Structure 1
Amino acid sequence: MPQDIDVEEMSPPIVPEIEPVYVHKGKASYYADFFHGRTTASGERFSQNRLTAASRRLPLGSRVTVTNADNGRSVEVVINDRGPYVKGRVIDLSRKAARELGMIEDGVVDVRVEARPSDQPSRSLRQRLERMVASLYPNRDSAPERPVTVAERPDPDLGGSELGAAELGAAE
């Protein structure tokens, strides 16, 4: 005998809203000891013993997760400086962050940098990252389901990298 199907069971599943994420792929390096103690773009003194990093485009004070593509290890860092200024590199890390990623021996590794608005310490940083993602995907809100928004396009300043660096021209 055929079973009766309850109409409520046929309703579409509830899909939670997925937060947009700004993703940056490319190469990471770490600061030389020469920079230890020098003033960063944020005005603080650089320390090899803190979990910090330099990015050309992400807002100063942003919290980001950096994942080593070779071994899957991740670390959360705070952007407190500008750089790197080497083609294909998307982030410069403190020695402590590089050690946590297991990249001290290699010096330069492929990484994925993720910035989530909800991870930011202030409303202004959350809003700034949301605007960065929205400028890359202006029609995102018109979709029935909001996908994870990933910003991956060649860096216009560097001519792109083999992985595709997500960069915006927003000034600090």
Structure 2
Amino acid sequence: MKTIRIIVLALGATTLGATLGGISAPALASGKAKVPPVHVEHEDGEQVLVHKGEASFYSQKFHGRTTASGEAMNQNKPTAASRALPLGAKATVTNEDNGRTVDVIVNDRGPYVDGRVIDLSRSAARKLDMIEDGTAPVTVEVKPSEQPTEAARDKVEAKVDQLTPDRPSDRQVAERDERRAGSSGSDKGGSDKVSQSGSGK
């Protein structure tokens, strides 16, 4: 009976931590939260990754911890965690409540809460004016043409190909191969490993 009571109390504490103030709790070990799927939209002749759902932001206690990319989590930089988007990718996040946008670099994995698609650094959340509310409905867009590195662009294009039923045309493949061949090869976008610390969400 005592064991059951301890389990119930632990579960209650976890639920409270996950919802308190709209700021996420540490990552779930299973990582099986339900998240809306990423899809591909066409914009100005380009295939764009789009992820719609809820955004949250990191708790202060995660400042300085190691992210999935190997970088230290920095609340003062425009970074974010995503379970679906490639590490190293640049994403534009729009707060659907007020129209504000911010560009972030995905450098961590998370959030692990139902319905949440991105976890923002505090500075990025501030630009979206969502600090007071804790969460906000957002649209996250990732364009291959706006990536900061060739490695990030390759990852984004690979994700687009994965989500697009039709294979890219021969011309698109040729252009991509030509661009890759012309790159220095010194570009590194980080590996898509899972963070041991979690995003705190």
Shift of 1:92: 0.3
TM-score, L = length of structure 1:
0.70
Q: Does 1:85 align with 2:109?
A: no
Q: In 1, distance between residues paired with 2:136 and 2:44? A: 33
2:123 maps to which of 89, 96, 116 = 96
Q: CA RMSD in A?
A: 1.8
TM-score, L = length of structure 2:
0.60
1:111 maps to which of 126, 130, 138 = 138
Q: In 2, distance between residues paired with 1:77 and 1:20? A: 19
Q: Give the helix-richer structure, 1 or 2.
A: 2
Q: Does 1:66 align with 2:97?
A: no
Q: Does 1:53 align with 2:80?
A: yes
SS of corresponding position for 2:157 = helix
For structure 2, the 5+ residue unaligned runs are: 1-42, 170-191, 194-201
Shift of 1:24: 0.2
Shift of 1:136: 1.8
Shift of 1:132: 1.4
- Deviations for 1:145-172, whole angstroms, at most 9, x for unmatched residues? xxxxxxxxxxxxxxxxxxxxxxxxxx65
Q: Tell me the amino acid that sits aligned with residue 145 of structure 2.
A: S
Q: In 2, distance between residues paired with 1:52 and 1:22? A: 18
Look at both structures and tell me which one has the larger radius of gyration over its CA atoms: 1
Matched positions, count:
129
Q: Tell me the amino acid that sits aligned with residue 75 of structure 1.
A: V
Shift of 1:17: 6.1
For structure 1, the 5+ residue unaligned runs are: 1-15, 143-170
Q: Paired residue for 2:39?
A: none
Q: In 1, distance between residues paired with 2:94 and 2:61? A: 25
